[in-house]
Amino acid sequence: MTPERGVVLAPFTSLRVGGEAEFFAAARTGDDLAAALAWAHTRQVPARVIGGGSNLLIADAGVDGLVVRALMGRSETIERDGDTRVVADAGVTLANLARRLAKQGFSGLEWAANVPGTVGGAAVNNAGAFGGDTASCLIAVTVIDASGVERRLSSADLQYGYRTSALKRRELGEVAVERVEFRLQRGDADGPAARVKEFNAQRMRTQPRILSAGSVFANPDGTYAGKLIDEAGLKGARVGCAEISEQHANFIVNPGGARAADVYALMRRAQDVVYERSGVWLRPEIELFGRWRPQDRRALEAPRVVSG
């Protein structure tokens, strides 16, 4: 395992923004993943595994340490004694898996047919859409640490919450997701595919098709982040080449040429304007990754307190 130096990460994110990784490796097998983590551990270099890069805002200044891109792509559907499940490598594209299973008549992942990112990322972030989420159908994940030790963790072990988990909160140590198991049901012949078609149509009506990272903010209790941003008059707001979508206000899009700093500035503007107008602080679903300043991270966590 010899990682590359200075690899630009923007092409590996759904927003197509972000700088270089100090070190970069692609993991196509579980052994690759273990070797990459071991390489970083022996050199005391921080390591982070990414999937589709759909929930990350990578700093323009890049990332210290090793970034491992999960490309493991196997999946297997298992039916035994009335139990149906799919076991998928962390690098499997979630939407592709959901669509394939629906075509085969399996129900349980239809909600994910348009969710960006990978199976591993979904397990970490509790990805969800259209009333479904990862926690509702995940049986277990297999994680691996820098020593090559695997652990199988149940859904209960992951302590899922809305768009979060113990993995995302770094409460389970320095581990990476290797495989994910989802619970399925045998649906009628056309039902799952019909639901996917319905969700596709709804997405086309309501969500932009330009480069984005999906929903930027988590929905506050009792309302929707997009509704609050829209009511604040921010649809179409721009910083640099990044823009709050005219179609769905909880999406920041990159029509071309945007930088991570542009996206960050729009996130801050949306938070401040919505808070001033409604008293609601929007919590980001997108995670800052890389060489962001500590004050940049803190600014997204809570509204500024003005003394005097």
Q: Which two tokens stand for residue 182?
A: 């989802």
Active site residues: 163, 215, 285
